[in-house]
Amino acid sequence: MPLRVLHDPRFDPEFLALPERTRDSCWRVQAALRRRPRSPGAGFRVERLQRMAPTEAWTAHFEKDRYRLLYVIDGQTLILFGVGPRPGFYRRLDRLRGFPRRRRRVESTD
């Protein structure tokens, strides 16, 4: 079942600032991520962010690794936080600081 897609308010202006060809590629990446958000697809790869992210944050690398799409998977929702060219892209990680961390059950090993 495809995930529901939400956008951070800053996503749309960044998306519209992309060149038209890159926007087309980004649409294809988004469509693929709705079905399989943790899997690479034709023309893109995905990577889970290990540092600085308070939740399960991912990036999709597309357009021959020149662009990044920052997103979070929250249950059945794909939340798009940012998109843009690789140089300087990771400054967008500060957007995730206010996003709630998913609570995980910790089991005792006693």
Domain assignment present for residue 35? The answer is: yes
Number of domains in the chain: 1
Of 24, 4, 6, nearest in space to 15 by CA: 24
For 58, list phi and psi in degrees, rounded to 5.
-135, 160
What is the reported pLDDT for 98?
56
Q: In whole angstroms, what is the distance from residue 47 CA to residue 64 CA?
A: 15
Quote the pTM value.
0.79
Domain that holds residue 39: 4-93
Domain assignment present for residue 104? The answer is: no
Domain assignment present for residue 106? The answer is: no
What is the reported pLDDT for 104?
38
Element containing residue 32 per DSSP (H, E) = helix 20-35
What is the reported pLDDT for 62?
96
Instruction: Give the CATH number for residue 18.
Output: 3.30.2310.20
Q: What pLDDT tens digit does each residue of the chain (110 aa) get?
A: 788 999 988 899 999 999 999 999 999 999 999 999 999 999 999 999 876 555 678 999 999 999 999 999 888 999 998 899 987 776 666 666 655 554 333 343 43
Domain assignment present for residue 99? The answer is: no
Which amino acid would we find at residue 11? F
Domain assignment present for residue 20? The answer is: yes
Domain assignment present for residue 98? The answer is: no
Domain assignment present for residue 103? The answer is: no
Domain assignment present for residue 15? The answer is: yes
What is the reported pLDDT for 27?
96
Cα angle value 88/94/95 (rounded, 5°): 105
What is the reported pLDDT for 110?
38
